[in-house]
Every structure is written in C-alpha cells, then in structure tokens.
C-alpha cells in the first residue's frame, strides 16, 4: 500500500505504522522500481 503523509503528520504516522513503513523518494521511477522489487519479493 502506498500512502502519502503530510510532513506535520509524519511522526504520528510512523508511530502508528511501527516497522511497516518506509519513506520513498518522490521520483516516479524510484517508486515504480520499489513497487516492482516489493512485488517480486512477495511472489518469488
């Protein structure tokens, strides 16, 4: 799941998500690469 979090809510979101969240760069290519790697790791 991809979630956009406003800077003022980041700390609260990270506390809620615990170790299940990771920041991503804002570049489309980097997000697509992360998504591909994540999906491959889940099925492969």
Whether residue 1 contacts residue 31, with contact meaning beta carbons closer than 8 Å, is answered with no
- The structural domains of the chain, with segments of one domain joined by +, span 7-43
What is the spatial distance between Cα 27 and Cα 40, in angstroms, rounded to a whole number?
Answer: 20
Q: What is the pLDDT along the chain (44 residues), one digit of tens a residue?
A: 889 999 999 999 999 999 899 888 889 999 999 999 989 998 86
pTM exceeds 0.85: no
């Amino acid at each position: 799941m991809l979630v956009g979090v406003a800077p003022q809510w980041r700390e609260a979101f990270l506390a809620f998500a615990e170790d299940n969240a990771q920041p991503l760069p804002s570049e489309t290519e980097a997000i697509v690469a992360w998504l591909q790697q994540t999906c491959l790791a889940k099925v492969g």
